[in-house]
Amino acid sequence: MGMPLPNTDMLQRSHCHQVNWQGQPDSGQVSIAVSADCLCRLLKHRQLHVEDLTCLDPATKSKVREMLLFLLS
């Protein structure tokens, strides 16, 4: 038996519907921490798009910039 292949439809970029979390002032955003390796992998495989990111501090912005330049080379 072969290895199952991922559903290619799930790998495509899609927009999520807005979830109304009751009692939350800004339900349009979440803040998370992810390892640099994981972020690089997600960007490389186009499972996350740079226009969807916002860096919260200058050090992170610099690391993400370096990562993007690396991925372009």
| pLDDT at residue 18, rounded to an integer | 60
Domain-wise residue ranges, the chain: 32-73
- Could you tell me if 68 and 43 are in contact, meaning their C-beta atoms sit under 8 angstroms apart? yes
| pLDDT at residue 31, rounded to an integer | 87
| pLDDT at residue 36, rounded to an integer | 94
- Could you tell me if 33 and 60 are in contact, meaning their C-beta atoms sit under 8 angstroms apart? no
pLDDT tens, 26-60?
667 788 999 999 999 999 999 999 899 899 999 99
Token pair of 30 as six digits: 């979440």
